[in-house]
Amino acid sequence: MKIANITRIGKHKVYDLSVDEVEHYVLENGVVTHNTGIYYSADNIFIIGRQQEKTGTDLVGYNFIINVEKSRFVREKSKIPIEVTFEGGISKWSGLLDMAIEAGHIVKPSNGWYQIASDGTDSKKYRRKETDTKEFWIPILSDKSFNEWIERRYIISSESIMNEEVTSEDVSAAYSDE
C-alpha cells in the first residue's frame, strides 16, 4: 500500500478518556473514544516475578523473571531471567543457560547435567553451578549463530523494515502532491 496523501496539521493535545463500564463513548462533536487505560498509553509494561534461591534451607537470593507484557523495544511475551544473590548481587550469567538450551547450543544429556552441543564428539558434562564461569560461556557467546538467535528472539523489528517498504522517494512524492 502506498501513501496517498500527507496533510500536516501541526501539534495538538491528545487525551486518553475513560468512562466507567462503557467500552466506547461518542462525544458531542462526533469524536469516538475508547477506554484504553494505562495499558495502551504505556510504552513498556514489565511484570516482575520472584522465586527464592536457597542453599539447603538458607535463603541466599532470588531469581527474578521479567515478563515483557508490552514494549516498543523488546519482543512482547519475552521472559528475561535475572539471578540475584545476597552475597554476589546480579549474576553476569543470568538467564544464559535457559536461552542457550532453547537455542540448542546447550543440551541436557541427563537430569541435572548440561553439555555444550557439539559436532558429534563427546564433550564434558557440567552441573548447573559449574556453568557460571567465563570459560564455559566465552565459546558460546563467541558463536555467531548464538548471537543471531538472541537477536531474533528478543529484538523487535527496526527501521530496516520501514526502509524496505517505504523509500525516501515515496515520502518525497507524497509531499510534492500537496
Which whole number is the average pLDDT over 31-37? Answer: 59
pLDDT band at 39 (very low <50, low <70, confident <90, very high): low
For 33, the enclosing helix (H) or strand (E) is strand 32-34
Residue 23 or residue 129, greater confidence? 129
Residue 97 has pLDDT above 90, yes or no: yes
Q: Determine the Cα–Cα distance for residues 12 and 56; give it in Å rounded to an integer.
A: 60
**pLDDT above 70 coverage of the chain, percent:** 69
Residue 15 has pLDDT above 80, yes or no: no
Residue 172 has pLDDT above 60, yes or no: no
Q: Determine the Cα–Cα distance for residues 2 and 160; give it in Å rounded to an integer.
A: 17
| DSSP per-residue letters across 64-126 | EEEEEEE-SSB-TT-EEEEEEETTTEE-TTTTHHHHHHHHTSEE-SSTT-EEE--SSS---EE
Predicted confidence at residue 175, as pLDDT, reads: 52
> Would 158 be classed as within a structural domain?
no
HSE at residue 132, side-chain half, CA atoms within 13 A, is 10
Which whole number is the average pLDDT over 8-21? Answer: 70
> Would 97 be classed as within a structural domain?
no
> Would 14 be classed as within a structural domain?
no
Closest by alpha carbon to 16, among 36, 1, 31, 39? Answer: 36
Q: Determine the Cα–Cα distance for residues 175 and 178; give it in Å rounded to an integer.
A: 6
Question: The domain containing residue 64 runs over which residues?
Answer: 43-91
Predicted confidence at residue 44, as pLDDT, reads: 87
> Would 69 be classed as within a structural domain?
yes
31 three-state secondary structure:
coil
Q: How many other C-beta atoms are found inside a 10 Å radius of the C-beta of residue 141?
A: 15
Q: What confidence tens digit (pLDDT) does each residue in 59-88 have?
A: 999 999 999 988 888 888 888 889 999 999
> Would 100 be classed as within a structural domain?
no
> Would 76 be classed as within a structural domain?
yes
Q: Determine the Cα–Cα distance for residues 139 and 176; give it in Å rounded to an integer.
A: 54
pTM of the model: 0.58
Task: Provide the number of structural domains found in the chain.
Answer: 1
Closest by alpha carbon to 106, among 91, 92, 123? Answer: 123
> Would 85 be classed as within a structural domain?
yes
> Within its chain, how far is the Cα of 51 from the centroid?
20
The sheet that has 125-126: what strands, in order across it?
106-107, 114-116, 125-126
Residue 139 has pLDDT above 50, yes or no: yes
Predicted confidence at residue 40, as pLDDT, reads: 64
pLDDT band at 7 (very low <50, low <70, confident <90, very high): confident
Residue 162 has pLDDT above 50, yes or no: no
> Would 170 be classed as within a structural domain?
no
